[in-house]
Amino acid sequence: MRPTTSVPGALSTRSAVFALACVLIAAGPGAVQRGAIAPPSPIGPLPTARQLAWHELEFYGFLHFGINTFTDKEWGYGDESEALFAPSALDARQWARVARAAGMKGLIITAKHHDGFCLWPSRFTEHSVARSPWRDGKGDVLRELADACKEYGLKMGVYLSPWDRNHADYARPEYITYYRSQLRELLAGYGTLFEVWFDGANGGDGYYGGARERRQIDNRTYYDWPNTWDIVRQLQPGAVMFSDAGPDVRWVGNESGVAFDTSWYGLDRAATYPGDANYSKTLARGRADASDWVPPEVDVSIRPGWFYHAAEDPKVKTVDRLLTIYHQSVGRGANLLLNIPPDQRGLIPDIDAERLRSFRQALDAMYATDLAAGAKASASSVRGGAPAFAAARVNDGKADTYWATDDGVTNGSVTLTFAKPMRFERVVLQEFIRLGQRVEAFTVEAEVDGAWKTVAEGTTVGYKRIVSCEPTTAARVRVNITRALACPTLATVAVY
């Protein structure tokens, strides 16, 4: 297997160029000609343009749907009859409406799960919707989803299981040709995709074309991942790829909806691979000194299982639980991929849809008014004393401006002064991650009765960090960066 560093190396070079262009723009037109204060130099691994676009999505949905929906299983064996796939009222537009009402920015669908059944009429297998009674064998779930996403302004992604318990050639070289042929179908046939999802379920017992046996593979080498990833780069250059090892987005290491409290975006891609048994124990939290930018994605289901099971209707997560998941994923710098499985009708169940609407209403109410907007901002120090890096950049409502200190100054504070005392209980921080992830520790203080009081503290910030505190009324709030890898770059301080 080629070392995975062959791809990341090229990406890192392009990332550095991209970051430099971004910081020059942020410094303002004519900054170089005027001899203005130079922006901080990028440090560590840097995000690519596709990764920056992914960070901005924050929250999107997973659709686990297929043969398992009709067999009441989580993992199909691979011998299921295509005739079982018979949704009575499939409506991808309903999926899109539910997702948009929940505030999701996109939907990723299980185009093929481990059972090998394809939700599109693949030219390379008979084990697909083309042999089902749905739409008289002329249907294409992915086409309907692509059309619905376009109509409702959502992005679309696909999950193509590397493991296939149906295919006779699985674990043999011929299967890789089959897998890549199907991948090309998906990448070329359904418009622009924002994410391609690969998991680490690799080998075991299965139908395998009638062999009904157990097959094992060496998941370090069997899939030849670099050449498979190259196909995605060629056909969907804007899409990020997910797996334990990236190359763009990594698994958070659990399916509970919880990101690490201290979470670095750095991962040494060459040190791991999809399906690495040691990944969640040793690599999932990331490292500050790692070579590659591979941020975490939190995947969790709104139900106990990933596919729809009627018995789980009373177990749909509560609004409070969904809010907790949001704050422990998006609020810790990760993206949230929430699974919302369609039922046997081919619809998101009413209880799930209602729960998502209520969740969105609660979240919108929670973050309706940013108290920091309009507040007077000051800082302990400003890079070169330049207005381009002044404290006011943290609450100017612009994502591409930021407060920064001089080189070598790895701590400092920004103070927000309100026109009158304000009651708050959450603070949102964002770094200017185009220059790398820097903050190692911070505190939030409020001036109460003339004295500064620490109300919250944390470690890493990254793209976004949300910290909660007891409801506090204060006329001034101060964010202290107490430790950083280099001069901090804080793009946002919001107070709610």
Q: Which residues are CB-contacts of 79 (< 8 A; sequence separation ≥ 6)?
A: 166, 207, 212
Q: Which residues of the chain have pLDDT under 70?
A: 1-35
pLDDT at residue 200 in the model: 83
Burial class (CB in 10 A: 0-12, 13-18, 19+), 470: exposed
The Cα–Cα gap between 23 and 15 comes to 12
CA 126 to chain centre: 33
pLDDT at residue 245 in the model: 85
Q: Which two tokens stand for residue 51?
A: 């990764």
Burial class (CB in 10 A: 0-12, 13-18, 19+), 439: buried
The Cα–Cα gap between 153 and 57 comes to 13
Q: Which two tokens stand for residue 396?
A: 């100017």
Predicted TM-score (pTM) of the model is 0.93
pLDDT at residue 202 in the model: 85
* Residue spans of alpha helices (H) in 236-316: 279-282
Q: Give, in order, the Cα–Cα distances in Å from 313 to each of 78, 284, 348, 350, 360.
A: 26, 32, 12, 10, 20
Q: Which residues are CB-contacts of 66 (< 8 A; sequence separation ≥ 6)?
A: 76, 85, 110, 112, 113, 115, 117, 119, 307
Which residue bears the tokens 């404290």?
Answer: 391
Entry field: residues in the chain: 496
CA 188 to chain centre: 23
Q: DSSP letter string over 185-204?
A: HHHHHSS-EEEEE------E
> Are 376 and 417 contacting, i.e. CB atoms less than 8 angstroms apart?
yes
Domain spans in the chain, listed from the N-terminal domain onward: 1-43+367-496, 57-366
Question: What homologous superfamily is domain 1-43+367-496 in, according to CATH?
Answer: Galactose-binding domain-like (2.60.120.260)
1-43+367-496 and 57-366 in the same fold: no
Q: Which two tokens stand for residue 264?
A: 């670095």
The CATH code of the domain at 57-366 is: 3.20.20.80
The Cα–Cα gap between 249 and 244 comes to 8
HSE toward the beta carbon, residue 414, CA cutoff 13 A: 31
User: ∠ at Cα 124 (119, 129), nearest 5°?
Assistant: 25
